[in-house]
Amino acid sequence: MEISHFAPVCIPTLCRYEHFKRCVESLSHCTHAEKTDLFIALDMPMKDSHKEGYMKICQFISLIKGFKNVFIVKRDVNYGAVKNSYDIILTVFRNYDRLIFSEDDNEFSPNFLEFVNKGLDRYEGNADVYAICGYHFPYSIKNYENNIYSSNATSAWGIGYWRGKYISVSTQVFNFSYINSILASWNLATKLYYKNYSIINDFISQKTKNILCEDCLVTGFLLFNNKYCIFPTISKVRNWGQDGSGEHSGNMGGKEIIYTNQQIDEEYNFTYDDILIKENEKVHTMIKRTYHRPFIVRLIILIRFIFYMFFKWDILKWYFYAKMKR
């Protein structure tokens, strides 16, 4: 299967020099990197602690090689992680009908670009497919023979979008009005709770903390509308960001090894298997295992959900305020 279009890659960054360097260098070693435009959105530091890493990235970006073109968007004020990411996506979409997005803490398989580009060609006309995800959760799918699967989940750890589908969905869900519409409806909120209790828990957290998490919002949309993302059964991405260095990722205290030691594909090429676009029970079991929480945590989420839906009061609000004051 020949690739008709090579999607540009967008990477927002700020000061995580080691993460960013690993990310770009692994991407430059991918098949088709020399045919790929790379866009880097470099945010402006807002803290003194950001400046050392920021300056190292400023020096490194002038040395980047291996791509068709490298474009640097250097912010003159601090945008913050969410705005910096969203703005570079919309900027690139002005001139391209597809793109590949990655945060700066990912490491890529040699066939990552081929996997995503072939997927963008293959499923462009399929209205049920929202995006092509390069990441596979760190669990195996037992007795599953294909090299790809479709799922109502999503992951922005290396993801390919089409302009029309992305803008259509993001304008619907990437706002507090969407969260409010779900949490204001007992029927919708309960339906989402039973489909994925972690997602409704995240909806309440976003409302309480006044932040937006695109992965969570899009997953909610996919679940409600029977839309899917395409994933590989062997991950094309390894993530290094669960070390507390990111804006929204906490330090896992050594447990991040499940991500940093995750096996990723070492092949340089990829050929797609044919699958039916639907929720596969074996895949669903694997996803449930990924999001599984201990009983006490599930109980807290249930109590939180009931209190919020009946009284519009978040029982964990005090906890988030205490964390923000530290």
Mean pLDDT (whole number) for 104-132: 97
Angle subtended by helix axes 186-195 and 176-183, to nearest 10: 100
Would the pLDDT of 253 be above 60?
A: no
pLDDT band at 312 (very low <50, low <70, confident <90, very high): confident
Q: What pLDDT is recorded for position 22?
A: 97
Secondary structure (DSSP) of 169-180: HHHHHSSHHHHH
Within 10 angstroms of residue 199's Cβ, the number of other Cβ atoms is 22
Q: What pLDDT is recorded for position 221?
A: 93
pLDDT band at 256 (very low <50, low <70, confident <90, very high): low
pLDDT in tens, 15-51: 999 999 999 999 999 999 999 999 999 999 999 999 9
Strand order in the sheet with 69-74: 69-74, 37-42, 9-13, 98-101, 159-162, 129-133, 228-232, 148-151
pLDDT band at 195 (very low <50, low <70, confident <90, very high): confident
Would the pLDDT of 248 be above 70?
A: no
Q: What pLDDT is recorded for position 209?
A: 87
Phi-psi category of residue 143: left, alpha or beta, with phi > 0 → left and psi -120 to 50 → alpha: left
pLDDT band at 243 (very low <50, low <70, confident <90, very high): low
> Is the CB of residue 11 less than 8 Å from the CB of residue 23?
yes
Within 10 angstroms of residue 73's Cβ, the number of other Cβ atoms is 16
Instruction: Give the residue with greater pLDDT, 288 vs 40.
Output: 40
Cα 283-284-285 angle, rounded to 5 deg: 90
pLDDT band at 320 (very low <50, low <70, confident <90, very high): low
The residue behind tokens 């029309």 is: 164
Would the pLDDT of 286 be above 80?
A: no
Secondary structure (DSSP) of 64-104: --SSSEEEEEE-SS---HHHHHHHHHHHHHTT-SEEEE--T
Would the pLDDT of 252 be above 60?
A: no
d(CA 123, CA 129): 7
Instruction: For the chain, list the domains and their CATH numbers.
Output: 9-172+230-276 (3.90.550.10)
Picking from 100-114, 243-257, 277-291, 293-307, which range would have the lowest pLDDT averaged per residue?
243-257
d(CA 89, CA 171): 13
